[in-house]
Structure 1
């Protein structure tokens, strides 16, 4: 490969809007590795639902643009379930990953990863930047929250590995993220550069456990986050830090190290004009995700090799790792996948296994047959009303059910329900408190069934919530 081809092989670009042809031409001209699909690239109908055939056609055009090599191009997406889901209905809506932590069921995580990935494969994707292997520290974590499987490092490790295995079983390449751990910093790297003040021993004991587990399980890709870790390299984002990549490789990892999106504020303003791309590669990254300007990043990498700022050997190593991973993926063949919505029953099963009672009765109805609802978004209230009807509950009178989202005020009313991370229940004066970890139809069905006394709540808190320790929940047989 020429230097220009090698530089393209380590860049995974994004595009804005739906001009697929223009983006495909950029991929062809710069020999780029493929593309990631973001929310504004997804073809939708007037009601906002994904148009599966159109999405498949987009991916086929982008795959063709990065063809011509003995391995397939990357067609990637961020589809974790819950908050981070670029593709909505009619694809299955999955609850937040914290649901698996509440359910405490590795097999369920693996089955769900496979089902989610099968629908992606049906649309022509071959890579998903999931799962989130971060260990959340609780309410001081402003970014990850319910994207984390658990506040327990061992649980986060086992469940993220199982979810990764499910993705791989359906032919989708997973990526454990965000090393060295975004769940225990107090700033959002989309907005600024968080600082992780923990020492190496603390990181080893907590944040790094899921990533070690991912490496030991053979997960092919690990994403580095834009987090400064003074114990490794003060003031430098981990995604651009040689010491960070060294720590990751010390785990025995020989797969692809991919940066978090390089157009995020933690790096974009600090390292303009393609600097971030060159610095990340020099530090040890293999795949550069979403540089703000792909052409500028490509030119900067080629120029850095020409000037000796970036060694040919380092670029070769990165390009070979990406090519090897995709060649291996190509040998798996193109799975047929399953049609959109095929995982709906399993998604409902996850939520039914996760719903958690922090305060209130564990047996029998929690409401007298009728309820009122406040809080949440209009769609949340509509889904709740529909689920209540299916459970035999009337709307408009009776106890007040207050729906609270991530980062929202403490739950009020007679029954406070956390829809995402359960931190909002810590200061809630409501006598009954539940967490459902999702805003899907299945999550609301699980909630309504518990309220009506038609089901028990088997979930256990995967993280402490105020005075409620991790593990709080109704006893199970």
Structure 2
């Protein structure tokens, strides 16, 4: 491969809206690794749902462009599809609850099954890489970015469940990417906006934040994403994604796969490293794949120039390009070609929520409501879904105890029963005597809630992280 081809092989760009042909042209012209699909790239039908055939056609066109230069491995077609708040692809694909559901359910086999179910629906659309799962270990309410995207506040649980979910994805033929090394769950600043600083020592990081990444390395998982987090114990003031000591630490865990940066168009990077400088820095530091540079043409030119002028050792670019190509050759050889139809995992998603719903305070047996219920809070769509689920569970609406729904980023609630639909932290400031963590707002999640309220099912989940005075592990026996 020429230097230009190798420079393209380590770049995974985004594009705006429906500019598919322009993106295909860039992939071909710059020899790019492929493309990531973001929310504004997803075609919708007349009902506002994802156009399945349209999405598959877009991905096929981008894959075709990646193959146009004659390279024998497939291009990367990637997406962020974690479940919960981070889901670029909506219905008719299965809607999944937040990843924290797996921590509440506490079942490795269930997490593995869910990883396979989620990934299997991506395959017919042409996706071969999903930037999931998020294995960051959350510290609770001060974790402003990750929240319910985290599996657990327990490093061992986050590690085991992250590996299980990833292995399920691989079984379906989709490459997982565990993220965000060196750990974003203990950060109190959002790296989408500015650069967080991790003040922990290496010993402290090894005992907490790095455990899931150590487990990923031990399991031989193919990809780890580095975050835009400054770690003074490694290299002060420099985002981990651009820091050589960070990649040395990651490789020191035994990781041999592809190290991918978090999106290079995020504020933590662009404010400090304009133009193509971030791309060259990340590569020189040890990254293999550069995600979403702000200007992919600029990044490509900067890499080629750096190699030509001695600013980037050619063997470093060789190593990065070889790792990416090797991963894609391996995936093409091992991935099953068939997938699963849209929505085929709805029952599995509902089972996840039924295993996760957690009662922090309130009765653990029998009906919580006397056959009728009122709903408040949340968004109109949440209230409508709750009402439909209540009706399915045989509950009448308009009288009885008030169920207060708390959505993403919501505050504490009153009423009789407070229900957190995302991270459970707002329950600590809720005045409702009964407190329930649901970790999801899918139809299946609301069915699980309604079944518990009606006394038709037990709440089986345990808190995967402390909520105020309620310690991790709180839940019905």
TM bin (shorter chain): over 0.9
| Deviation digits for residues 390-409 of structure 1 (CA, Å, limit 9, x no counterpart) | 01111111111111123311
Deviation at 1:46, TM superposition (A): 2.6
Supply the distance in 1 between the matched residues of 2:170 and 2:99 (Cα, whole angstroms).
17
Q: Is the 8 A contact 1:75 1:125 kept in 2?
A: yes
Aligned to 1:40: 40
Which whole-Å CA distance do the structure 2 matches of 1:218 and 1:197 have between them? 29
* CA distance in 2: counterparts of 1:338 and 1:330, whole angstroms: 18
- How much has 1:431 moved relative to structure 2? 0.4
State how far apart, in whole Å, the 2-side matches of 1:330 and 1:317 are: 20
Aligned 8 A contact 2:365 2:455 in 1: yes
Tell me how far 1:319 sits from its aligned partner. Answer: 0.4
SS at 1:32 equivalent: coil
What's 1:448 paired with?
450
Corresponding position of 2:159: 157
| Higher mean displacement: 400-409 or 134-143 | 400-409
Give the aligned partner of residue 329 of structure 2.
Answer: 327
Counterpart position of 2:283:
281
Q: 1:261 aligns with which of 231, 238, 263?
A: 263
Please, which of 69, 73, 76 is the counterpart of residue 74 of structure 1?
Answer: 76
Q: Tell me, yes or no, if structure 1 residue 463 matches structure 2 residue 465.
A: yes
Aligned to 1:412: 414
Q: Which residue matches 2:196?
A: 194
Q: 2:135 corresponds to which residue?
A: 133
The equivalences for 1:223-262 within 5 A come to 223-262=225-264
SS in 2 for 1:426: helix
Residue pair 2:171, 2:335 contacting (<8 A) in 1 also: no
Say yes or no: does 1:64 pair with 2:64: yes
From 207, 215, 221, the counterpart of 1:213: 215
Work out whether residues 242 and 283 of structure 1, in 8 Å CA contact, stay in contact via their aligned partners in 2.
Answer: yes
* Alpha-carbon distance in structure 2 between the residues aligned to 1:176 and 1:379: 31
What's 1:28 paired with? 28
- What secondary structure does 2:429 align onto? coil
Q: Give the distance between the partners of 1:161 and 1:295, measured in 2 at CA.
A: 35
Quick one: distance in 1 between partners of 2:163 and 2:46? Answer: 38
The aligned counterpart of 1:49 is 49
* 1:377-421 deviation digits (Å, cap 9, x = unpaired): 111111101101101111111111111123311121110000011
**Contact 1:189 / 1:264 at 8 angstroms: preserved in 2?**
yes
Q: Is the Cα contact below 8 Å between 2:174 and 2:335 reproduced in 1?
A: no
Distance verdict in 2 for CA 1:386–1:8, change over 3 Å: same
1:267-346 matched pairs, under 5 angstroms: 267-333=269-335, 335-346=337-348
Tell me by how many angstroms 1:334 deviates: 5.2
Match of 2:9 in 1: 9
- SS at 2:176's partner residue? coil
Q: Give yes or no for the alignment of 1:349 onto 2:351.
A: yes
Are 1:113 and 1:167, in contact at CA under 8 Å, matched by a contact in 2?
A: yes
- Encode CA deviations 1:335-382: one digit per residue, 9 max, x unaligned: 210000000000000000000000000011111111111111111111
Residues of 2 paired with 1:62 and 1:106: CA distance? 35
How big is the shift at 1:225? 0.2
Q: How many residues align?
A: 475
**Counterpart-to-counterpart distance in 1, 2:335 and 2:65:** 19
Contact 1:7 1:298 in 2 (8 A): yes
Structure 1 residue 465 displacement after superposition: 0.3
SS of residue in 1 equivalent to 2:29: helix
Compute the displacement of 1:268 (Å).
Answer: 1.1
Does the 8 A contact of 1:411 with 1:418 survive in 2? no
| 3-state SS, counterpart of residue 48 of structure 1 | coil
Residues in 2 aligned to 1:3 and 1:184: alpha-carbon distance in whole angstroms: 39
- Provide the C-alpha distance between the structure 2 equivalents of 1:355 and 1:434, rounded to a whole number of angstroms: 7
- Whole-angstrom distance in 2 between the partners of 1:24 and 1:464: 47
Distance 2:153 2:271 in 1: 32
Instruction: Name the counterpart of 2:91.
Output: 89
Deviation at 1:333, TM superposition (A): 4.8
Counterpart of 1:400 in structure 2 is 402
Mapped partners of 2:404, 2:454: distance in 1: 16
How far apart, CA to CA, are the structure 2 residues paired with 1:243 and 1:379?
47
Moved over 6 A (4+): none
Contact 2:143 2:187 in 1 (8 A): yes
CA distance in 2, matches of 1:330, 1:338: 18
5+ residue gaps, structure 2, are none
Partner of 1:144: 146
Q: How far apart, in 2, do the equivalents of 1:277 and 1:362 lie?
A: 54
Q: Is the 8 A contact 1:406 1:424 kept in 2?
A: no
- CA-based RMSD: 0.7
Partner of 1:174: 176
Q: CA deviation at 1:100?
A: 0.6
SS at match of 1:66: helix
